[in-house]
Chain A
Amino acid sequence: MKNNEPNCMVEIRDLHKHFGPLEVLKGIDIEVANGEVLVIIGPSGSGKSTLLRCINYLEEPTSGEIYVDNTLVNDRSLKHKAFQEHLNRTRCKMGMVFQQFNLFPHMTVLENVIESPIHVMKQDRPTAISKAEDLLEMVGLAAKRDNYPATLSGGQQQRVAIARALAMEPSVMLFDEVTSALDPELVGEVLRVMETLAREGMTMLVVTHEMGFAEKMADRVVFMADGFVVEDAPPHEMFTNPQHERTKQFLAEVLK
């Protein structure tokens, strides 16, 4: 059932995901309030990325409900075509940033950012460009607007990817291990952009191994293992006084 809390931005109810015989998510319940930063941590294979991908319907949930901004994402009562249109609309409310950046290599930085505003949101070109320039300014890449992605560093590409997602004016941002593919010295510049966003009040779901970011920026930290949410706590509690044995083990490993 849908929670009637008006401040709720993302709500996940009893989410299950199977890949064939393998059950990756075994009943996930998570709520994220408007403006909240939720950091999801856990060992690899725990289902963190699958969870984010289900929210955006890049993976089809096997069962359960996902609400984003009071809209049921996996509304299978809709017929095929209506569902696809519903999905396209709903996805516009979510910005997703990927581990591998996934910038469009055949387009310049600016073209990457304005592509969807123009072709999906039907913004006129000058409006889209001026907004894109503001966003590129925000991520510190205004000077690179006419470059092709291949000429940028990983950190720069990831910042463009963030700007591209923001250009759709999403209500929530999903970050899927966005610093994992970066050289260590490039991680900071991406995290700083995310911190700016968090301070501006963006609702964020962040899957990451950057415990420093979690500690500093998260309102809540969720620890996942083996397809379950094991622990859900404010960062201070999570990192200083974890309740579950599994959490303690994991944190002992990563904070070593």
Chain B
Amino acid sequence: MLDWQIIMHYFPFLLKGAWLTLQISVISVLLGLIFGLIAALCKLSHNKLLRGAASFYIWLIRSTPLLVQLFIIYFGLPQLGIDLSPMVAGILGLSLNAGAYNAETIRGGIISVHSGQMEASRSLGMSFGLAMRRIILPQALRIIIPPLGNNFIILIKDTSLVSTITVIELTMTAQRLIGSTYKPFEMYLMAAVLYAIMTSAAALLLQTFEKRFALERR
């Protein structure tokens, strides 16, 4: 059934693609987290302008497909004189996309922390920012981690879409190898296994993190 020889021979190539996928994932997860946190705080701000901007960003991203967003960034922006490398365009698209979803997750976590916590902090002379950083976010984190982890895993899988803008990551590597081997089943299967390994490792990591956070307050 399976051509094991082909699999053994081409596995290192796919591994190289997976390595790039991993790099894209990690950078996009981190940037997506930063974008999400900024957008969440803006959306919770008393400033109408910040709130409006954050709402618009979240709406824009969530109401359009990631693939179209990537195309606009990579193929569309050069028309405005903004020429990004495939890698930069891909990471930007992925992290902006993840940021919008993370924003809602983070905002949900923050507002689920009892309002008395902010009041107690402010009554002790803390500024809003200090209270957020020291009191609210650490508590929100515990609530946020599971759904945020879900977003991370979706992001890892979505990196396959940047293959469409010529980034030679895992999916693109598989496609290219199919071009020369005519073995789509083997190649895509290997890609799938590698994706599964990466997402499972991420899930495991998050689980440990979640447990440690839950234990800390016993």
Contact = CB atoms under 8 A, between A and B. Distances in A.
B123 A119 contact: no
Given A104-B135, A105-B217, A120 B125 contact: yes
B132 to A, nearest CB: 12
B135 A96 contact: no
Contact of B216 (A88, A91, A106, A116): A106
A85 B119 CA distance: 16
B122 A102 contact: no
Given A105-B139, A106-B139, A115-B134, A120 B116 contact: no
Contacts of B142: 106
B138 A106 contact: yes
Interface in A111-139: 115-116, 119-121
A92 B139 CA distance: 24
A120 B130 contact: yes
Contacts of B209: none
Contact of B126 (A88, A100, A103, A150): A88
A65 B139 CA distance: 36
Interface string B147-176: 000000000000000000000000000000
A161 B95 CA distance: 42
A148 interface: yes
Nearest to A92: B125
B123 to A, nearest CB: 4
Contacts of A106: 138-139, 142, 216-217
B128 interface: yes
Contact of B124 (A100, A116, A150): A116
A56 B118 CA distance: 13
Contacts of B127: 84-85, 88
A78 to B, nearest CB: 15
Interface residues of B, number: 22
Nearest to B128: A84
B218 interface: yes
Interface residues of A, number: 30
Contacts of A116: 124-126
A178 B37 CA distance: 35
Interface string B25-60: 000000000000000000000000000000000000
B23 interface: no
A56 B124 CA distance: 10
A214 B69 CA distance: 66
A172 interface: no
A100 B116 contact: yes
A107 B192 CA distance: 43
Nearest to B218: A148
Given A98-B120, A105-B139, A106-B216, 20 more contacts: A84-B128, A88-B127, A91-B122, A91-B125, A92-B124, A95-B123, A98-B119, A102-B114, A102-B117, A105-B217, A106-B139, A106-B142, A115-B124, A116-B126, A119-B126, A148-B217, A151-B218, A165-B123, A168-B124, A168-B125
Interface of A: 56, 58, 84-85, 88-89, 91-92, 94-96, 98, 100, 102-106, 115-116, 119-121, 148, 150-151, 161, 164-165, 168
Interface of B: 114, 116-117, 119-128, 130, 134-135, 138-139, 142, 216-218
